[in-house]
């Protein structure tokens, strides 16, 4: 994702220690939004032991102690270092939290902070209108919620389970780490419906409506848990009278989750959209190497240790932010799967499609290996399509695709996907 904020990742230098004057601070936490020029990002602030800590997810910064803290009834001020520059905050306490300014180089912007989990509330307020039926299933670790969108008319209809990509990405394709909405999977569901295809998209555990109260459930979760969640949804759909031909579509990380679910539950077809053909450890080392050549071998060693159940920090900010302590189990179980080998093992019709301008699949070696594949696997490269399924001829288009919810999906992707699904149809309408 070619955003200004991500360009700062490899420059982030944090200076420990702080001073303070004035009030004694009670332990508390706030979340909000920083607006700097045309960029918006979430910020988290907490107070503990009379100190202030900042987290900025898009900078991969977590619990950073601030410098030069000054606190009074009217104003809080502090700073953190960004490379050779400084990001300064000047906040005014208000009844609902804080409002104030941010200064960075020659730019100034606004800061808004509210008590509690504001980012969750923001995403709820920003979600698109949920056409269709609200549905839920019970799993071993909680309740999952989704939207079942069915075409008008008399079924049964070809039906596809839509599985979102990596991180805290909700059923509509929106990341809870990013302020703006892109609604890519929401658009996909509407397009399928227009073609007579039903869909069910859902919030993964810990995301959207499927949020959990016990954070330990997420820390103890494995990649296989997310595969089993997809299987539970497939079992739910199998019992619905409106469902005819049944398949799934996984986007990005959801591609591998979907392919593994297809091995566990009988299906008529599977679709991989913008999925990487490498193991996740190989993917991460490549991607970090493009940002920071020195960090890549450190990450490679860290991942090798994780595969052997050795969990320890490296001292490299980028590596330790990408793979924080306490989150290794999910990654460890994910690394056991080679997506290309999983694809080779399937005996159902599979469509593998991606864009030739996908900012996360930047080389041929990121794609699925095509050797030893059954004839039932089809490949379709979409010209000028980025990772979020929009036409992306320029870097500006890619940036826009992450924050313009009205940007249409690539028309050729819709044609390729709907044609493939309808071809698997067994006589249903």
Domains present along the chain, CATH in parentheses: 4-116 (2.40.128), 128-279+337-423 (3.40.50.1820)
Q: What is the pTM of this model?
A: 0.88
Whether 128 shows a pLDDT value over 50: the answer reads: yes
CA distance 41 to 109: 11
Choose the weakest-confidence range: 35-44, 240-249, 273-282, 374-383.
Answer: 35-44
For tokens 């200076």, what's the residue? 15
Q: What is the pLDDT of residue 261?
A: 98
Question: Is residue 405 very low, low, confident or very high in pLDDT (cuts 50, 70, 90)?
Answer: very high
Burial class for 164, CB neighbours closer than 10 Å (0-12, 13-18, 19+)? buried
pLDDT tens track for 155-170: 899 999 999 998 889 9
Mean pLDDT of the chain: 89
Mean predicted confidence (pLDDT) in 333-358: 96
Whether 406 shows a pLDDT value over 90: the answer reads: yes
Q: What is the pLDDT of residue 7?
A: 35
Q: What is the pLDDT of residue 217?
A: 72
Distances (CA, A) of 273 to 250, 286, 311: 6, 20, 32
Q: What is the pLDDT of residue 58?
A: 77
- Residue 324: how many other CB atoms lie within 10 Å: 12
Burial class for 310, CB neighbours closer than 10 Å (0-12, 13-18, 19+)? exposed
Whether 123 shows a pLDDT value over 60: the answer reads: yes
Q: Write the DSSP symbol of residue 409.
A: B
CA distance 209 to 212: 9
Residue 223: name the closest of 281, 273, 266 by CA: 281
Mean predicted confidence (pLDDT) in 75-93: 86
Whether 11 shows a pLDDT value over 80: the answer reads: no
Mean predicted confidence (pLDDT) in 138-143: 89
pLDDT tens track for 181-204: 999 999 999 999 999 999 999 999
Whether the link from the prior residue into 250 is cis, omega within 30° of 0, is no
Mean predicted confidence (pLDDT) in 384-390: 97
Residue 119: name the closest of 40, 201, 200, 28 by CA: 40
With a CB cutoff of 8 Å and minimum separation 6, the contacts of 363 are none
pLDDT tens track for 209-268: 997 767 777 778 899 999 999 999 999 999 999 999 999 999 999 999 999 999 999 999
CA distance 151 to 426: 17
Q: What is the pLDDT of residue 5?
A: 34
C-alpha 229: how far from its chain's center?
A: 17
Q: What is the pLDDT of residue 12?
A: 30
Distances (CA, A) of 187 to 131, 181, 191: 11, 12, 6
CA atoms 224, 226, 229, 230: torsion sign: negative
pLDDT tens track for 52-61: 999 888 777 7
CA distance 114 to 125: 15
- What burial letters (b/e) apply to 227-246, b meaning 16+ CB within 10 Å? bbbbbbbbebbeebebbbbb
For tokens 């959801």, what's the residue? 254
């Amino acid at each position: 994702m070619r955003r200004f904020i991500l360009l700062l990742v490899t420059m982030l230098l944090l200076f420990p220690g702080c001073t303070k004057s004035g009030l004694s601070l009670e332990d508390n936490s706030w979340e909000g939004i920083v607006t700097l020029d045309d960029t918006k990002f979430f910020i988290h602030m907490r107070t503990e032991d009379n100190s202030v800590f900042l987290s900025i997810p898009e900078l991969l910064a977590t619990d950073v102690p601030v410098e030069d803290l000054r606190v009074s009834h009217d104003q809080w001020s502090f700073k953190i270092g960004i490379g050779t520059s400084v990001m300064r905050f000047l906040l005014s306490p208000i009844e609902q939290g804080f409002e104030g300014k941010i200064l960075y180089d020659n730019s100034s912007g606004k800061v808004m902070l509210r008590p509690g989990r504001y980012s969750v509330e923001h995403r709820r307020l920003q979600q698109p209108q949920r056409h269709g039926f609200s549905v839920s299933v019970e799993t071993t670790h909680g309740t999952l919620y989704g939207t079942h969108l069915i075409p008008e008319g008399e079924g049964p209809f070809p039906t596809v389970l839509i599985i979102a990509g990596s991180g805290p990405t909700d059923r509509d394709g929106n990341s809870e780490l990013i302020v703006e909405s892109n609604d890519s999977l929401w658009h996909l569901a509407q397009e399928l419906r227009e073609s007579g295809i039903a869909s069910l998209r859902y919030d993964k555990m810990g995301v959207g409506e499927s949020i959990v109260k016990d954070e330990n459930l997420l820390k103890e979760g494995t990649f296989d848990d997310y595969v089993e969640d997809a299987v539970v949804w497939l079992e739910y759909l199998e019992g619905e009278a409106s469902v005819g031909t049944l398949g799934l579509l996984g986007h990005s990380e959801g591609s591998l989750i979907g392919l593994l679910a297809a091995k566990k539950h009988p299906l008529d077809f599977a679709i991989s959209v913008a999925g990487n053909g490498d193991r996740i450890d190989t993917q991460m080392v490549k991607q970090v190497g493009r940002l920071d050549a020195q960090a890549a071998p450190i990450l490679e060693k860290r991942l090798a240790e994780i595969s052997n159940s050795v969990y320890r920090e490296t001292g490299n900010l980028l590596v330790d932010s990408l793979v924080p302590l306490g989150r290794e189990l999910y990654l460890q179980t994910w690394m056991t799967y080679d997506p290309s080998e999983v694809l080779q093992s399937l005996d159902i019709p599979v469509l593998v499609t991606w864009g030739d301008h996908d900012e996360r699949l930047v080389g041929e070696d990121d794609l699925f290996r095509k050797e030893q594949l059954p004839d039932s696997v089809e490949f379709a490269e979409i010209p000028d399509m980025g990772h979020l399924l929009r036409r992306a001829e320029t870097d500006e288009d890619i940036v826009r695709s992450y924050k313009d919810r009205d940007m249409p999906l690539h028309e050729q992707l819709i044609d390729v996907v709907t044609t493939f699904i309808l071809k698997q149809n067994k006589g249903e309408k």
